[in-house]
Structure 1
Amino acid sequence: MGLGGGHKLMGWGRVFLGGGVVALPYAFMGCCVPPPPLTRCTLCSVAPGDTIFAVSSGHGRCGVAVIRTSGPGSGGALLSLTGSTELPPPRLMTLRRIRDPHTAELLDRGLVVWFPGPQSFTGEDCAELHVHGGPAVLSGVLRALGRLSGLRPAEPGEFTRRAFHRGKLDLTAAEGLRDLIHAETEAQRQQALRQMEGELGRLYQRWGETLTQALAHIEAYIDFSEDDNVEEEVLSQVDEAVRALEQEIAAHLQDGRRGELLRSGVHAVIAGPPNVGKSSLLNMLCQRPAAIVSPIAGTTRDVVEVSLNVSGYPVVLSDTAGLRDATDPIEQEGVSRARDRLQHADLVLAVLDATTVPTDPAELGAALGSLVPPSTPCILVLNKADLLGGHKGALCDACTHGPPLPPTTLLSCKTGEGTDSLLQLLGQQLAQLCGDPLAGSPTLTQSRHSTQLHGCMAALVLYRQQQDVGMAAEQLRLARRHLGRITGHVGAEDILDVIFRDFCIGK
């Protein structure tokens, strides 16, 4: 901040943080525009105290389905459908006959659970009906619930949104819950569960508390320094704390997008000249004929994409057109799309024909360099190894001598030779790109987080450039607001709490 003794304040009084609740991630709301911070839910045009219900176990035939309610009418709904006069003991599954209250028709015989608030997922009174998962059963129970006064079907993600508004989880935990529901690989599950448990939110909360304390100290200096209740050295302490925080956030941002790659999948591109076996490699890895294989060069004209689970890591694998100077307009478009996909690849499987590849190390490196963009991680796959005969030794020497090459393996898509070696190399590369989701500090998983953290960093940079205490405080206020938008918690009372706790003003 560069503030020393003797600087005069320029008429800045206390400026409190704006309150309000940050909008949930759009995927939780089923819309593309964040709602304003109103006390009334603008999505469903009803008060937040309404009772909602929905199938929470997914759709389709199943042995058991779970229908959940949340809101003040949950208890009454449970009594109406079971014909009971008393609610079952909390959090204890109880066998009940479930009837339509309007017709007294028996709908099913299942288990019911009562979750009185605030000890529930949403923090409100909740009930669950565990019924048989046939479509007719579900339709009948949902229809009976819909006839009850004060109950309505839930909007997409509304249970989680209510849990957020009642402080049961912050935005990062809500995003972790969503990722856990959609997790398809072991590593995705581990990362999502860790985020849902609140590790990422606690990290951002700690940073927010650091900024809250720094801002509170500056506010105290602004308001009380003339009374000698606050020493000027407090500004140096704030500078030191902000500098350390800035370094920590910068290190967090420089994570190589590991969390985002693990969440959305590593985009791996199979690239190489025509007729080297790229489509055969795709089919071998996904174990189905996803791409057309033909001895005719230039068969692949468009990008063929499949999703895979490799060693517990998600991979979006793309087969592309052979890279050459094409004359056919359609093939030219295919080559253009292949080169564009290469520019955005996280990993490249560069495929060359082992029978025609140069055995001179320098020439081999040049052939590879014409395929792979600089600095993009790569695995060199020398296909058609079954046709090498006694020339394998010379080719292996070319790979181990001369300029360093990326991880390389011999492969035969025809016989399967080298498949295990390729999968091992692929797993190692994915582990380097995604990291261990259980090790170290939690990583960034959303571009939304990255955007807000860069905004926070920009505000901290401007803070260090300020010569006026009031302007410096405003930059800290802005940095804290960016952090609050990640978790959804932005308020002014926290600053007041720290001021009176740390400085004991008025004692």
Structure 2
Amino acid sequence: MWRGLRNLPARAARGPRRPSMRPSSGTPTPASGATIFALSSGQGRCGVAVIRTSGPASGAALRGLTASGDLPPARSARLRLLSDPRSGEPLDRALVLWFPGPRSFTGEDCAEFHVHGGPAVVSGVLQALGGVPGLRPAEAGEFTRRAFAHGKLSLPEVEGLADLIHAETEAQRRQALRQLDGELDQLCQGWAEALTTALAHVEAYIDFGEEDNLEEGVLEQVDSTVQALQVALGTHLRDARRGQRLRSGAHVVVAGPPNAGKSSLVNLLSRKPVSIVSPEPGTTRDVLETPIDLAGFPALLSDTAGLREGVGPVEQEGVRRARERLAQADLILAILDASDLASVTSRHFLDTVVTPTGPQNACGSSQRFLLVLNKSDLLPPEGPDPDPDLPPHLLLSCLTGEGLDGLLGALRKELAAVCGDPSTGPPLLTRARHQHHLQACLDALGCYKRAKDLALAAEALRVARGHLARLTGRGGTEELLDVIFRDFCVGK
């Protein structure tokens, strides 16, 4: 891409010399030096409640409530009598812990009070802390915000912590732990370091190329780095929807002709009576949805109207809505009556919904589906009659529960493909923010490849690197100078 630029003087290619690249750090700092306190465990009556403080007055608060001149040893629990420092009234006998900064969750001095979880005890300790000079109640998320401000957590790690707190399934817990452990942050850090080196090389060529003091092939190395990054970013972006499904839940639609057992299957999987079950065909007229933990993955399970030509306007509307949900589904649970496979409605459903390649969703891509033959308890011992046109299927009896373990195993496999398996592979992109910044980074690398001027190419790399910095919550370009002087013998 640089053919023709090599014949230009480097200073002419870049234009006038820019000012020094010494920016301020992009890491935010706490708005004030106030010390905050809050109940960190759940609300309500419990065995033990944890109250924590963070800030410079934490030591004074701990001394005040324990009426002791000495702080306990760092990170060691000690049993102390807590008293109101103003009135001297005893509050509780509790475990106290002291975490001097910066070796604490927030990076500041922190104290924890592990008190008995009765509402009166908790209220009394909180009121006592509120009377200590320099302390104020914490705002929502302020402890984590301070941890981020002091470099204890990156933005993806903060998001992983939030996801871990709200995780309801095994898969969500595993993914949140990986993000909290910094896997996504480390991946982005590696990309950012590669871009930092590439940008440093381009800047060095602009500033010193005319003096012939740089190694051969500098710009070719940059091109190779950018191409590798484009491939890596493209791979993760194509996989982005899986992580978002894992965080918010996959859309699983139960579909089939009337009286196949759709509502019974929904009730069986959700372990509660979500849908009305009746021998009368067409009982379900609308789409009934329930969020559930399905084989360890989060899912929004939809019970739909039986697919047939409706006998009335209400049922026709239910069928229309069912077909809409089919088009939006991430996974279709197609269910048929195993004792009635030769009926017109069953054959029509097989021909129109269950095809060898799967139905097409709104985006035109093939959807995943599982074919379930319900009411296996009505079959003879030898099973259903062999049918060469019947796709691979699972036998199930919603009445007896036979075949449920096999269905859950198949669901786990399909949902791992839809949501991603958090126990293997690279870290997933679980938020639209991650996808936005990676896409913007990839777009900037495309601008680099198209640039006809070294200064514009350097700016494109700077923009790409900036998006990775914003994804992780870091910023600044101070390290560029370090890379320049480390990698090149300027003036040799």
For residue 412 of structure 1, what is the aligned residue in structure 2? 397
Following superposition, the deviation at residue 379 of structure 1 comes to: 0.6
Contact persistence 2:341–2:347 (CA under 8 A): no
For the pair 1:11 / 2:15, whether they are aligned, the reply is yes
Whether the 8 Å CA contact 1:52–1:70 is kept in 2: the answer is yes
The answer to whether structure 1 residue 159 and structure 2 residue 150 are counterparts is no
C-alpha distance in structure 2 between counterparts of 1:300 and 1:456, whole Å: 47
Cα distance in 2, alignment partners of residues 176 and 196 from structure 1? 5
Q: Distance in 1 between matches of 2:104 and 2:240?
A: 37
Cα pair 2:269 2:294 within 8 Å, conserved = no
Please point out which of 203, 214, 218 is paired with 1:230.
214
What is the deviation of 1:232? 6.1
Q: Which segment drifts farther, 96-105 or 370-379? A: 370-379
Query: For 1:427 and 1:40, how far apart are their aligned partners in 2?
Result: 44
Matched residue type, 1:5: R
Alignment partner of 1:456 is 2:457: no
Is 1:249 paired with 2:233?
Answer: yes
Please tell me the residue identity of whatever aligns with 2:373. Answer: L
Q: CA deviation at 1:506?
A: 5.9
For the residues of structure 2 that align with 1:232 and 1:475, how far apart are their CA atoms?
23
Specify the alignment match of 1:437 in structure 2: 422
The alignment status of 1:295 with 2:288, answered yes or no, reads no
Shift of residue 240 of structure 1?
Answer: 0.8
Give the Cα–Cα distance (whole angstroms) in 1 for the partners of residues 308 and 237 of structure 2: 38
Q: Distance in 1 between matches of 2:468 and 2:24?
A: 14
Matches within 5 A, 1:219-368: 219-231=203-215, 233-255=217-239, 257-326=241-310, 328-358=312-342, 365-368=350-353
Q: For the residues of structure 2 that align with 1:337 and 1:367, how far apart are their CA atoms?
A: 16
Q: Which moved more, 1:287-296 or 1:450-459?
A: 287-296
Query: Quick one: distance in 2 between partners of 1:135 and 1:285?
Result: 38
Query: Structure 1 counterpart of 2:378, which letter?
Result: L
Match of 2:369 among 364, 375, 378: 378
Counterparts of 1:12 and 1:334, CA distance in 2:
68
Q: Tell me, in whole angstroms, the C-alpha distance in 2 between the residues paired with 1:147 and 1:328.
A: 69
CA distance in structure 2 between the partners assigned to 1:239 and 1:437 by the alignment? 33
CA 434–12 in structure 1, closer or farther in 2 if over 3 Å, else same: farther
1:41-81 C-alpha deviation (Å, 9 max, x unpaired): 4xxxxx2x211111111212110111010001101111111
For 1:269, what is the secondary structure of its paired residue?
A: strand
2:71 counterpart residue number: 87
Structure-2 change in CA distance of 1:214 and 1:17 (3 Å) = farther
Q: Measure the CA separation in 1 of the matches of 2:445 and 2:337.
A: 53
**Which one-letter code corresponds to 2:228 in the other structure?**
A
Partners of 1:348 and 1:372 within 8 A in 2: no
User: Over residues 204-243 of structure 1, what are the superposed CA-to-partner deviations in whole Å (9 max), with x where a residue is unaligned?
Assistant: 0000000011111111111222222335621111111111
Task: State the shift of 1:40 in Å.
Answer: 6.4
Q: Return 368-377 or 89-98, whichever deviates more.
A: 368-377
Q: Separation in 1 of the partners of 2:276 and 2:347?
A: 33
Cα distance in 2 between the residues matched to 1:330 and 1:20: 62
Shift in Å, 1:266: 2.1
Deviations 1:140-189 (A, max 9, x none): 11111112221111111111111111011101111111112222222222
Greater alpha carbon shift after TM alignment, 479-488 vs 430-439 = 430-439
Q: Which residue of 2 aligns with 1:32?
A: none
**Take 1:506 and 1:158, find their aligned partners in 2: how far apart are those partners?**
50
8 Å CA contact 2:240, 2:429 repeated in 1: no
**Contact kept in structure 2, 1:409 and 1:421, CA below 8 Å:** yes
Q: What is the deviation of 1:256?
A: 6.2
SS for the counterpart of 1:318 is strand
Establish whether residue 387 from structure 1 lines up as the match of residue 387 from structure 2: no
Moved more, 332-341 or 233-242: 332-341
Q: Structure 1: how far apart are the matches of 2:277 and 2:23? A: 61
User: What do residues 352-373 of structure 1 show as CA deviations (whole Å, max 9, x unaligned)?
Assistant: 2223334999977414348944
Counterpart for residue 465 of structure 1 = 450
Deviating above 6 A after TM superposition, structure 1's stretches of 4 or more consecutive aligned residues are: 359-364
Give the Cα separation in 2 of the matches to 1:13 and 1:359: 80
Q: Does 1:194 align with 2:185?
A: no
- What letter matches 1:6 in structure 2? N
Amino acid at match of 2:351: A
Does 2:130 correspond to 1:146? yes
Contact 1:342/1:373 (CA < 8 Å) preserved in 2? no
Percent identity over the alignment? Answer: 57
Equivalences for residues 94-243 of structure 1 within 5 A: 94-231=78-215, 233-243=217-227
- From the superposition, tell whether residues 506 and 105 of structure 1 become closer, same or farther in structure 2 (CA, over 3 Å): farther
Bigger Cα displacement from structure 2, 467-476 vs 142-151 = 142-151
The letter of the residue matching 1:9 is A
Instruction: Give the letter for the 1:337 counterpart.
Output: R
1:270-325 Cα deviation digits (max 9, x unpaired):
11223221111111112221211122222223332223333332222121222334
Is the CA contact 1:99–1:105 (under 8 Å) kept in the aligned structure 2?
Answer: yes
CA 1:108/1:139 → structure 2, altered by over 3 Å: closer, same or farther?
A: same
Distance 1:223 1:208 in 2: 22
Alignment-mate amino acid for residue 128 of structure 2 = A
Partner Cα distance (2:317, 2:90) in 1: 63
Kept after mapping to 2: 8 A contact 1:225/1:231:
no
Separation of aligned partners in 1, 2:137 and 2:375: 58
Contact 1:9-1:468 at 8 Å conserved across structures: yes
- Contact kept, 8 Å, 2:240 with 2:435, in 1: the verdict is no
Q: Which moved more, 1:414-423 or 1:160-169?
A: 414-423
Distance change >3 Å, CA 478–CA 390, structure 1 → 2: same
Equivalent pair of 2:38/2:138 in contact (CA under 8 Å):
yes
Q: Is the 8 A contact 2:255 2:304 kept in 1?
A: yes
Render the CA deviation track for 1:404-460: whole Å, top value 9, x for unaligned.
x3x411222223232222222212212333343222322222221111111111111
